[in-house]
Structure 1
Amino acid sequence: MTKKTTGTLRKPVPADAGISGTAEPVPRERNSTAGPAPAHVLYDERLWPSPGVWLIAAGLAAAVIVVLAPINLAVGYIASACTAVLLTVLLAVSTPRITVTDLTLRVGRAEIERRFIGDVEAYKAEEATAQRGRKLNGTAYMCFRGWIDPVVKIGITDEVDRTPYWLVSTRRPGQLVSSLRPSDPPA
């Protein structure tokens, strides 16, 4: 049985070095880069809530004042401010990001290698509604937002993955589709 070693190689200790003799580490040869080269970002988008969603959040925060004003107006203002901060943080944290690099596609928390991406199609208006509704496959990965109309359907060719496609909301469907259809496929 052989033992794999990592880190540094050590010079053999001469026999006359005694018990306290130690060998100096000899560094392994390394490439000029410490890790893999960073991937080039081809497309990046955050699916921020629409102004209407932010307006509803502001209305909810203002409603807290109305509810608590009969009890104590100062408490109402404080609770309203806390509600506004909480809703802002929740909306910002829950906003998914779409990132396409030379090697991967990442939508929200899901990531797939570009070599497993098949056909890519953009849909708008009624066809986008149909893709999100009656034409939707229940096993597809879905990341869409009701306030963003266009969707892009990204076919998955990985035989191990049971997901037939990803359906993703985007405000820039043409750019997303073109970034997923490179002229030179990634190596």
Structure 2
Amino acid sequence: MQSYEERLTAPRSWWLVAVLVGVACALMLLPVGTLPMLGGLIGGCALSAVVVSAYGSARIRVVGDALIAGDAKIPVAALGDAQVLDAEETVAWRTYKADARAFMMLRSYIRTAVRVEIVDPSDPTPYAYLSTRDPERLVAALAAARA
């Protein structure tokens, strides 16, 4: 059985923004003194780094007979067809084609995604939208888990 695991890490530019937030905090505290300025730099960098790290820690996995996306665990038996979305379709399915009932693990900095139908009649969720950097491999892993 083919397994799949991906961490949706934040882009490097977001880490630069985290450092710039620390610099901004330091500049705000500069009139108060040197020690508060250093505290603002360290605290601002640390806090913004925690936020970037937490947002980029989301994982998508196909383990055994389940698709695990973030906190959601969906049995493969409840999944229907999986569709690879290119960059244009990715934008369409997260904007004007989106259904408010859908499960969406969306990261705007990832340009491709997979749309997986949910066929469980007791579940009102019509599909799962999963941002992924390797959509073909995810679809193949889901197909292998179904077999």
**In which range does the TM-score fall when normalised by the shorter chain?**
over 0.9
Flag the 1:83–1:73 CA change in 2: closer, same or farther, 3 A.
same
The aligned amino acid for 1:162 is: P
Aligned counterparts, 1:55-134, within 5 A: 55-94=16-55, 95-134=57-96
Contact 2:2 2:141 in 1 (8 A): no
Greater CA radius of gyration, 1 or 2? 1
Aligned counterparts, 1:143-154, within 5 A: 143-154=105-116
TM-score scaled by structure 2? 0.92
The aligned amino acid for 2:11 is: S
1:44 equivalent to 2:5? Answer yes
Contact 2:102 2:127 in 1 (8 A): yes
Distance 1:50 1:155 in 2: 28
Flag the 1:82–1:181 CA change in 2: closer, same or farther, 3 A.
same
Compute the displacement of 1:184 (Å): 5.9
Match of 1:173 in 2: 135
Q: Which runs of 5+ in 2 are unaligned?
A: none
Contact 1:65 1:73 in 2 (8 A): no
Flag the 1:184–1:131 CA change in 2: closer, same or farther, 3 A.
closer
Distance 1:41 1:181 in 2: 9
Contact 1:41 1:99 in 2 (8 A): no
Match of 1:158 in 2: 120
Distance 1:152 1:105 in 2: 12
The aligned amino acid for 2:48 is: L
Q: Which runs of 5+ in 1 are unaligned?
A: 1-39
SS in 1 for 2:115: strand
Contact 1:99 1:107 in 2 (8 A): yes
Contact 1:43 1:100 in 2 (8 A): yes
1:141 equivalent to 2:66? Answer no
Deviation track 1:73-125 (CA, whole Å, cap 9, x = no partner) reads 22111121112112222222332110111211110111111111100011122
Contact 2:2 2:144 in 1 (8 A): no
SS in 2 for 1:70: helix
Total equivalences in the alignment:
146
Compute the displacement of 1:57 (Å): 1.3
SS in 1 for 2:3: strand
* RMSD of equivalent CA atoms: 1.6
Match of 1:23 in 2: none
Flag the 1:184–1:127 CA change in 2: closer, same or farther, 3 A.
closer
Identical-pair percentage:
31
